[in-house]
Each structure stands twice: as C-alpha cells, then as structure tokens.
Amino acid sequence: MREILLKPTLNKFLDFSSFAEEFILDENDLVLTNEPIYQFFMEPLQLPCRFVFQERYGAGEPSEEMITDLFADIDQDSYSRVIAVGGGAIMDIGKLLAIRRTGSVHAIFFKEAPVERAKKLVAVPTTCGTGSEVTNISVAIVRGQAGETTKLGLVSDLLIPDDVCLIPDMLRTLPYRPFFSSVIDALVHAVESYLSPSRATMTSELFGVKAIEMILEGLRRVSENGSEARLEYLDEFLTASCYAGIAFLQAGCASVHALSFPLGGTYHVPHGESNYLLFGKVLEKYDQIDPDGKLAELKQLIGRVLDCPSEDALEEMAVLEDKILPLEPLHKYGFRPEDIEIFADSVLENQQRLVVNSYVPLTRELIVEIYTELL
Ligand SMILES: NC(=O)c1ccc[n+]([C@@H]2O[C@H](COP(=O)([O-])OP(=O)(O)OC[C@H]3O[C@@H](n4cnc5c(N)ncnc54)[C@H](O)[C@@H]3O)[C@@H](O)[C@H]2O)c1
Ligand SMILES: [Fe+2]
C-alpha cells in the first residue's frame, strides 16, 4: 500500500503579517486572491508582490474559460512562486498557475497534455472546507464533448502545494453561509473517506475520525450558543478541514461529490452547498442498503459525539445541520425533472474516480432514485 501521508510542510500563523514576514513575500511572488480578502488582510502591509484577483476573470468556481483568460494575462515567466490565499477556488487555480502550460486548459483537464510542475506553491486557505491545500486535485467547470458543462477533477501528485499556511484569523471575515457550507464540505470529505471501501489507508481513518469529531462538536456549539460561537472555534474548524483533506487525499471522495458535481457545473450551486443537498439522502440510502458495514461504526462515532443512540445518529446529525443551514429541495436551485436522467448519465460518464469509492455500488438506478427523492 502506497501512502502519501502529508507532502506539504504545515505551518500555522496567528495573522497574515506574521506569515508574510516568515515567507519573505517579494516582487517575484504572484499572490492569487479575492479583492475583499486583499483589502482586509494584505493592503495595509504594502507588500511588493504582484496581486491577481480571481473575480476579475469571472464569478464563482473555476471554469475552463476563467483559467484560459488567466493564463493569457499572466506571463508564465513573470513569477517564481505562487501564493494562493482564498477558498478552494483560489487553491485550485493556484495549483494550475504552478504547473507548466503544456497545452490548453481543456487539454490538461482531459489528459491530452501532461501535468508538469514549474513553480513553488504556497497555499493559505481562507475557508474551512475543501482541504484543497493538502490535496492532489484541482477542480474546474469544463465543457464536455456535447458542449455541456460539468465539474471535473484533474488529479496529479504534482499539484500538491509545497507549503500550507493555516491562519485561523482569516476566517473572521467569511460570512455565515459560505462558512458553514464549507464546514459541511469538510464533514462530507471526512465521512466519505471514512466509508471508502477500498482506498482507506493506515492514516485516512485517523484523520477522518478526528475531523468528524471536531466538526460535529463545532456544529453542536453553534447550534447551542448561536452563530458567534464559531469565532471561538476558528482554529478547530480550519484544522479539521485540513485533517479531512489529508483523509480524502488517501481514501478519496465518493457518491456525495459525484452526484453534486453536475449540479454545481450546471446550476452553479456553490460546492459545499451542493454537497450538503445530497449528503443526508446518500447516507440514508447507504443505511437502507448496507447498515451493518462500516456505516455501523460511523453511526457509533456520531452517536458518541452527539450523545445519542447510534440508531438515531444520522437523523440527529441531519437535524443539527438543518438548524445551522436549513436544507432546501433541489428544484429551489433550478434543478428540473428532466435533469434526473441527464445528470445520472453525466455522473457515470465523468465521475468514475468518485463513483468507484462509493460505500455501496452506485448504480444508475440508485442515482436516479436519489435525485428524484430530493427534487
Ligand atoms: N481540490 C480539492 O481538493 C477540492 C476539494 C473540494 C472542493 N474544491 C473546490 O473548491 C471550491 C469551493 O471552495 P470553497 O467552498 O472554499 O469556496 P470558494 O473558494 O468558492 O469561496 C466562496 C466565497 O467566499 C469568499 N471568501 C473566501 N474566504 C473568505 C474570507 N476569509 N473572508 C471573506 N470571504 C471569503 C470567496 O471570495 C468566495 O466568494 C470549488 O470550486 C470546489 O470544486 C476543491
Ligand atoms: Fe468537497
């Protein structure tokens, strides 16, 4: 069994200025971020780096067009290190700015051009969800053969950042909804890797369990003490999302991500939110089909943290999440009955890397059932 436990060096800083000082940010650094994050945390420091704001190239999650425009604007030879400061979108684009441009963005994503690392990459996550700072994946909305859009993950160990810098202070400005959507994304990473039938490793469970415990404890505190309680728990939320990233780097994500990708790709539902829409239903199906496998251990674990019998654990977790972010049906996001079959085909055609990690076989029939019941 081959295992990359952790490729980047992990660092933790009290604030952005301590990070900038320690990493000696200079004019050869390309800092990819969002303008509000720049204004709040970086502008006062008057750093000599080149700053690029992702939103100048289009709103939302990375797309083939957005990355193509970024490549056209930023000369590959004009920087020696990439500093990605932002959510998963920024991390994922930062990974692409650190590789050699061996072909078009489309060619790289569809494996017609190789991934070759060219620059140093430092990842500073400012959401507590994706774990992208430690993973070997970059996700983008791409165009398929028939011109349809979907999300696709480019996977290569050469995408893993060199340094990860966790700065919990930077989560202070993240608004409530993206904050908790990203927390639930991290919970999904931890749960999907915990249940991964064939790729779990010596350490994925260790990090997955710890992430699940820390995240559920944080959600419980916020449900009992109100949204401000998250501010006392920023370090734990950020650390847990990094742990969940380490877990899924080994064991992989699965059905929740596979089914959420066409939703995100077509209706631009933010990543964490689209996972949340599917999470409870997917676990409910797992429980109907194979309640006695690893899922039984997961229910015990959740029951222990939420202080409830394991047979109520999935329901209690769903109630807790719903208190923090009320769950909506898919049609509220634009999903239509005619999407069910199209999305089911797209999952099976484009998301095999995730489908193969499903806790129970993810058949077309099961996919259709899940989308239909969530409509
Ligand atoms: N590569 C991986 O391993 C991996 C894993 C999961 C998800 N992803 C990708 O990550 C993306 C989602 O990432 P995300 O959930 O972090 O959201 P995001 O990166 O899309 O950010 C959400 C919003 O929050 C804002 N924001 C981020 N940090 C902020 C802060 N501290 N203060 C104020 N505003 C802030 C951003 O500007 C953006 O508007 C998707 O594109 C998804 O496909 C990648
Ligand atoms: Fe995710």
Mean pLDDT of 111-136: 97
At residue 323, does pLDDT exceed 80? yes
Closest CA to 120 of 161, 166, 152: 161
With respect to residue 358, please indicate whether it lies within any of the assigned structural domains: yes
Tell me if 183 CB under 6 Å of ligand 1: no
Q: Please tell me the distance from the alpha carbon of residue 114 to that of residue 201, in angstroms, as a whole number.
A: 28
Mean pLDDT of 361-371: 98
With respect to residue 3, please indicate whether it lies within any of the assigned structural domains: no
Other beta carbons less than 10 A from residue 139's beta carbon = 26
Mean pLDDT of 133-152: 88
Candidate from 15, 96, 139 with most ligand 1 atoms within 8 A of CB, to mutate: 139
What is the model's pLDDT at position 228? 96
Q: Which atom of ligand 1 is nearest to the CA of 173?
A: 32
Q: Which atom of ligand 1 is nearest to the CA of 249?
A: 3
Domain boundary among 151, 169, 187: 169
- For β-strands 50-53 and 163-166, DSSP reports them as unpaired
Q: Give the CATH number, domain containing residue 233.
A: 1.20.1090.10
Tokens of 120: 């140093």
What is the model's pLDDT at position 151? 82
Tell me if 169 CB under 6 Å of ligand 1: no
Expressed in angstroms and rounded, the spacing between residue 217 Cα and the centre of ligand 1 is 22
**Bridge partners, 227 (sequence order):** none
DSSP 223-234: HHH-GGGGGGGH
Average pLDDT along the chain:
96
Are residues 129 and 201 both part of a single domain? no
What is the model's pLDDT at position 1? 62
Q: Give the CATH number, domain containing residue 20.
A: 3.40.50.1970
What is the model's pLDDT at position 123? 98
Tell me if 33 CB under 6 Å of ligand 1: no
Are residues 165 and 232 both part of a single domain? no
Candidate from 141, 174, 180, 263 with most ligand 1 atoms within 8 A of CB, to mutate: 174
In single-letter form, the type of residue at position 360 comes to V
- Asked if residue 161 lies in contact with residue 121, where contact means CB atoms within 8 angstroms, the answer is yes
What is the model's pLDDT at position 4? 67
Tell me if 182 CB under 6 Å of ligand 1: yes
Are residues 267 and 230 both part of a single domain? yes
Candidate from 15, 32, 34, 192 with most ligand 1 atoms within 8 A of CB, to mutate: 34
The kind and range of the H/E element at 31 are strand 29-33
Percentage of residues of the chain with pLDDT beyond 90: 91
**Bridge partners, 12 (sequence order):** 166
Q: Which atom of ligand 1 is nearest to the CA of 182?
A: 15
Tell me if 132 CB under 6 Å of ligand 1: yes
Summarize pLDDT for 200-245 with one digit per residue, the tens. 888 899 999 999 999 999 999 999 999 999 999 999 999 999 999 9
Closest CA to 335 of 268, 251, 238: 268
Which range marks the domain in which residue 27 is found? 9-169
Are residues 156 and 216 both part of a single domain? no
Q: Supply the residue whose CA is at minimum distance from atom 39 of ligand 1.
A: 60
Residues constituting the chain? 375
Are residues 185 and 155 both part of a single domain? no
Domain boundary among 135, 169, 203: 169
C-alpha distances out from residue 168 to 67, 234, 304, 363, Å: 28, 5, 27, 40
Tell me if 87 CB under 6 Å of ligand 1: yes
What is the model's pLDDT at position 351? 92
What is the model's pLDDT at position 2? 64
Q: Please tell me the distance from the alpha carbon of residue 173 to that of residue 175, in angstroms, as a whole number.
A: 6
Q: Which residues surround ligand 2, an ion (CB under 5 A)?
A: 185
With respect to residue 78, please indicate whether it lies within any of the assigned structural domains: yes
Place of tokens 């999302």: 241
